[in-house]
Amino acid sequence: MSNVITMGEVAARTLADEMRRDPTIWVLGEDVQAGGIFAQYKGLFQEFGAARVVNTPIAESTIMGAGLGAALVGTRPVIEMRIADFVMPAIDELVNQIAKVRYMFGGQARASVVVRVPHGLHPGSAAQHSQVIESWFVNVPGLVVAAPSTALDLAGLLRTALRCDDPVVFFEPKAMFKNVADMLGDWPAIPFGKAERRREGKDVTIVSWAQAMPAAIEAAAALSADGVEADLLDLRTLWPWDSEAVLASAARTGRALVVQEGVGASGFGAEVAVTIAEHSAARVRRLASPRIPVPFAPTLEDVCFIRPGMIVAAAKEMVAG
C-alpha cells in the first residue's frame, strides 16, 4: 500500500484504527456511510456496518442531541457536522448541554464526544459555506478545541480526541482534505496544548494554525531567502493552547506576528496577541480576514484569503521598525 495518501484518507484510517481498538466509538452524521464529502469516512461503513456508522437526516440539532444522549450512556460518538456553517442549528445542544454536563452534574456524567467540523475558506463556497468559527467555541468553558494543519497532526490529534473524556470540537481544514502527504511510519497520538515549531528563527515570531499555516510556511521560506529568519509556531490546538511556547519565542525575537484565516474581529488571534502584549515586551501585530461575508465571485473572494506575500510584507515591516 502506498504511503502517499490524502488528508481525508488519513482521517478515515485513523478513525478506523480507533474504532477497532474501542468498540464504544461510533459515527453519526449526514452521508457518513458513503464516506463523507471529503472521504474522511471512506471504507468505515464497509468494515463496521450500519450499527456503528449511522446515516442521519439533515437535522443538525437532532444529530448533536443524539450524540449527547449516546455519550451519557457510555458510548463515544463521533458527531459529523459536514461543514462548520452547519453547526449553528446545533448550538444549544453543543454549548448549553455537551459543554456543561460534566460541570452541572459534578463529574457524575460526561459527554465524551468528538464533534468533527470541516471548516475554513474554500474557493467558490461563498458566504454560507466558508465561515471560520473556531473562536466561538474557544470561548465556551468545557470544550477542547483542535485545529490541525497537517495530515500527521490531524491523525495524532484525532487519536487523542477519540480517547479524551472531555468533548472535543475538532476543526479540520476542508480545503486541504485532498492534499497528499507521505505518511511513512507510525501516526502517534499528539497531546493537546503543545505547539509545533515548523521553522526556527531569531528575527520575528510567526504564530498560526489550521489552513493559514501553508501560507505562513511559504512566507517563512521567502523571508529566509531575504535574510529574515522567522520562528514559526503552529498552535495545533486552540484550547488548551501553548502560550508558554509562544511567549518564549516572542521574548527571544522581540516581535510577534499572529496569522489567522478567520475574521480578525474577536478572532482567536486576538487572544494570542493580547497574551503576548500582557506578558512580554514584544511588538505584536495580527493578520486576519476582513469582517465581510465571503463573496462567491473569485475576484472578490480573493480579499478574504491570507496570502504569503501579505505575511512577508508584515514581517519585514516589523523587522525594519
Task: Report the Cα 210 to chain-centroid distance in Å.
Answer: 5
For residue 134, count other CB atoms closer than 10 A to its CB: 26
Mean pLDDT of 179-188: 86
Count of domains forming the chain = 2
pLDDT at 79: 98
Mean pLDDT of 199-228: 98
pLDDT at 321: 80
106 and 203 together in one domain: no
Q: What is the pLDDT of residues 39-81, one digit of tens each?
A: 999 999 999 999 999 999 999 999 999 999 999 999 999 999 9
88 and 217 together in one domain: no
225 and 250 together in one domain: yes
**237 within domain boundaries:** yes
119 and 204 together in one domain: no
Question: Is residue 79 helix, strand or coil?
Answer: strand
Dist CA 210 CA 132 (whole Å): 10
pLDDT at 4: 87
Whether the full predicted model's pTM is greater than 0.75, yes or no, is: yes
**What's the maximum distance between 2 C-alpha atoms anywhere in the chain?**
61
How buried is 235 (Cβ within 10 angstroms: 0-12 exposed, 13-18 middle, 19+ buried)?
buried
Q: Which residue(s) pair with 145 in the sheet?
A: 169, 239
pLDDT at 181: 85
DSSP-derived secondary structure letter, 92: I
Specify whether the CB–CB gap between 121 and 175 falls below 8 A: yes
pLDDT at 268: 97
64 and 167 together in one domain: yes
130 and 206 together in one domain: no
With a CB cutoff of 8 Å and minimum separation 6, the contacts of 189 are 156, 159, 160, 163
Dist CA 110 CA 100 (whole Å): 9
CATH number where 234 lies: 3.40.50.920
Q: What are phi and psi of 253, to 5 degrees?
A: -90, -30
Mean pLDDT of 114-123: 93
Q: Are strands 168-173 and 114-119 parallel, antiparallel or unpaired?
A: parallel
Dist CA 287 CA 274 (whole Å): 14
126 and 34 together in one domain: yes
**191 within domain boundaries:** no
Task: Tell me the residue type at 239.
Answer: W
**249 within domain boundaries:** yes
Enumerate the active-site residues.
129
**273 within domain boundaries:** yes
**188 within domain boundaries:** no
Dist CA 201 CA 224 (whole Å): 9
CATH number where 151 lies: 3.40.50.970
Q: What is the pLDDT of residues 189-204, one digit of tens each?
A: 999 999 999 999 999 9
Q: What percent of the chain is helix, strand and coil (3-state, nearest 5)?
A: 40, 20, 40
**34 within domain boundaries:** yes
Specify whether the CB–CB gap between 168 and 146 falls below 8 A: yes
Residue 167's domain comprises 4-182
Q: Which of 182, 205, 229 is the last residue of a domain?
A: 182
152 and 243 together in one domain: no
208 and 303 together in one domain: yes
**167 within domain boundaries:** yes
Mean pLDDT of 155-173: 97
Dist CA 220 CA 181 (whole Å): 20
Q: Is pLDDT of 184 > 80?
A: no
28 and 69 together in one domain: yes
Specify whether the CB–CB gap between 113 and 79 falls below 8 A: yes
232 and 305 together in one domain: yes
Specify whether the CB–CB gap between 163 and 108 falls below 8 A: no
176 and 225 together in one domain: no
Q: Which of 182, 205, 220 is the last residue of a domain?
A: 182
Dist CA 181 CA 184 (whole Å): 9
Q: Is pLDDT of 1 > 80?
A: no
Can you tell me which residue has the cell 535574510?
A: 227
**247 within domain boundaries:** yes
Mean pLDDT of the chain: 96
Q: Which of 182, 213, 244 is the last residue of a domain?
A: 182
